[in-house]
Amino acid sequence: MTPRVPTQPELTAAARASGLPVLDAGRGQPDWIATVPRAAFFRLGAFAVTESAGRATVDGDGYWGGIPDDAGIADRLAADLGDDPSFLRAAVDWVVTEFGVDPDAFVGELVRGVLGAGYPTPQRMLQHLELVMERYAVTVCGADTGPPGRFHVFATEGGAAAMAYTFRTLRENGILGTGDKIAIASPVFTPYLKIPDLEHFGVEIVEVRAAHNAPYRFDEGVLQVLRDPKIKAFVVINPGNPDTRAMRPERLREIRDIVAEHRPDLILIADTVYATFVDGFRGLLAEVPRNVICLHSFSKNFGATGNRLGFVAVAADTALDTILSGLGDAARDAAARRYSSVTADPRSLPFLERMVAESREVALHNIAGLATPDQVQMGLFALAHLVPDGAPHAATLRTELGRRHAALLTPLGVPPAGGQDSQYYALVDLLSVAQVRHGADGADRLHALDPSELAVRLADAHGVVVLPGAGFDAASWDVRVCLAALPASDLRRIGEAIVTVLDELVAA
């Protein structure tokens, strides 16, 4: 019988019950907060409230305001900021210069958006902020900048919502159905193996296994399984979780060639939440743009797990629309009925607009769209990465994560796997640690034990929370440690605790 894997809540509860200071490296919550784009958000909000107060339409001793006037609003914001060389000023100037937009139109959108003064219009994403988000997506994924409009973006309530909306839209439109297969790169964040009860719909999961403890993600030839026409989609977190490596250029080109020569209908669902942690990252959006559904979340890079901000991006000329147009009459008729309340020509409704409708059960599509204040904060996060001063901040995080990684591994006596590594997590091969410390015999003795024992003992006796690799469908003697969650000093203590428990297990 396969040993039961202890859950994160169980391990956290055990660590708290130990009476020791808890070192929780289980959750993916970073210990940093990006203050500059948040300060810009609140500074913009204060200006917006003043603007609204000056346009009151209801008497009420200053309680009520009105919708600010766009005319001259960019100059009024500049005057309000004064000589302060703030990020907010730099962000507005960058957008106006980069995209050639009208300053009043852009600032007016920001002001109304931060006030929440009106439904999201367009529903998919506010017009100017979509330009920003498109540029952010192609920049993060290493694609050519190109002219605006090559990709369309739908702002969502975080990456999880983006994934849920994606699968629902694929199912409801007959792109995925009974007898189809979905390939998922593993090991992987556990919910991806269960989204969203795909077996209930008769969809088979095919795992595409990553190389273990190697400086690259996939062995040569592993991806050739994607030539199978029954595999309708390939889901990959790139860079990964928990293995944290980015796909090498030759593997990206391999997928490009598979699509070009064998599978023009293959859908590539790429989660890029960790992309900013790899210098020079290049993703599937850059290599196979027409076939990619790009998902992204701002939770990690900006310390914004509570904001729940993310997006879906697809090419304007997406292969998904080609697939929709080639479906049989029954599927097209069903779509016509389903989306008849959305448009007078439902058969021609693009895939991404169908997703917008699906996000509100279709019937409530008229009130779809991410809250406009959230869109503004998302836009400021993206701009903090795009403006010239943004690159050094991203590099600072990479340097810090590298320092933390070294602090964890030094007591263990093993080197990092290498390759293009986000270093947001570390997936530690404990059998390799046992081999270094106790030789092949010690590794064999450890291998004969229950792998969950180490994680349980760490929690009970040391107040340390790490997650067993088996919970991610990784090797049973791997553990995942979140390097983003704790400073280097604490990660060194975790490494020392792992060594202590491992030595005890081998000796016993």
**Residues 227 and 373 occupy one common structural domain:** yes
**Chain segment 380-429, per-residue pLDDT in tens:** 999 999 999 888 999 999 999 999 999 999 999 999 999 999 999 999 99
**Separation CA 111–CA 123 (nearest Å):** 17
Least confident of 19-28, 186-195, 253-262: 186-195
Q: Report, as an integer, the average pLDDT of 220-244.
A: 96
Claim to verify: residue 48 and residue 163 sit in the same structural domain: no
- Containing structural domain, residue 268: 143-386
**How many CB atoms sit inside 10 A of residue 213's CB?**
18
Asked if the model's pLDDT at residue 1 lies above 60, the reply is no
Question: Is residue 84 pLDDT above 80, yes or no?
Answer: no
Residue range 210-220: mean pLDDT, rounded: 94
Mean pLDDT score of the chain, rounded to an integer? 94
What pLDDT shows up at residue 464?
Answer: 97
2 assigned to some structural domain = no
Confidence of residue 195 (pLDDT cuts 50, 70, 90): low
Q: CATH number of the domain at 89, please.
A: 1.10.20.110
pLDDT, position 194: 67
Question: Could you give the C-alpha distances from 395 to 130, 144, 301, in angstroms and in order?
Answer: 25, 21, 11
CATH of the domain at 462: 3.90.1150.10
Predicted pLDDT at 86: 87
pTM value is: 0.95
pLDDT for 199:
59
**77-84: which pairs have CB atoms within 8 A and are 24 or more residues apart?**
77/47, 77/107, 77/111, 80/47, 80/50, 81/43
Q: Which residues are within 8 A (CB) of 315 and not within 5 positions of it... i.e. 6 or more apart?
A: 150, 151, 152, 289, 290, 292
Q: Indicate if 185 and 332 belong to the same structural domain.
A: yes
Q: Classify residue 316: in a domain, yes or no.
A: yes
Section 35-41 average pLDDT: 97
Contact predicate 321/264, CB 8 Å: no
Asked if residue 196 has pLDDT above 60, the reply is no
**Is 3 part of a structural domain of the chain?**
no
**Which residues have a Cβ under 8 Å from the Cβ of 102 and sit 6 or more positions away?**
96
Which tens digit of pLDDT belongs to each residue from 295-350? 999 999 999 999 999 999 999 999 999 999 999 888 888 999 999 999 999 999 99
In a domain, 138, yes or no: no
Q: Which of 386, 418, 435 is the last residue of a domain?
A: 386
Q: How far apart are CA 116 and CA 137, in angstroms?
A: 25
Residue 366 lies in a domain: yes
When pLDDT is cut at 50, 70 and 90, the band that residue 62 belongs to is confident
> How far apart (Å, rounded) are the C-alpha atoms in residues 336 and 415?
57
Percent of the chain with pLDDT over 90: 86
In a domain, 133, yes or no: no
Q: In which band, very low, low, confident or very high, does the pLDDT at 177 lie, cut at 50, 70 and 90?
A: confident
Do 219 and 292 lie in one domain? The reply is yes
Are residues 288 and 168 part of one domain?
yes
Kindly state whether residues 382 and 398 are assigned to the same domain: no
Domain C-terminal end among 118, 134, 162: 118
What is the predicted pLDDT for the residue at 455? 95
**Residues 372 and 453 reside in one and the same domain:** no
Same-domain status, 283 and 353:
yes
For residue 12, the tally of other CB atoms under 10 A from its CB is 16
CA of residue 325 relative to chain centroid, distance: 29
Nearest Cα residue to 133 out of 245, 305, 285? 285
Residue 243 has pLDDT above 80, yes or no: yes
Residue 235 has pLDDT above 80, yes or no: yes
How many separate domains does the chain show?
3
Asked if residue 375 belongs to a domain, the reply is yes
Q: Which of these three, 386, 404, 420, is where a domain ends? A: 386
Q: Which two tokens stand for residue 399?
A: 């340097």
3-state helix, strand, coil in the chain (%, to 5): 50, 10, 40
Could you tell me if 307 and 346 lie in one domain?
yes
pLDDT over threshold 50, residue 223: yes
129 falls within a domain = no
- CATH code, domain carrying 342: 3.40.640.10
Kindly report, residue by residue over 427-478, the tens digit of the pLDDT.
999 999 999 999 999 999 999 999 999 999 999 999 999 999 999 999 999 9
24 and 90, same domain (yes or no): no
Neighbouring-strand partners of residue 156:
310
374 and 433 both lie in a single domain = no
State whether 379 and 400 are in the same domain.
Answer: no
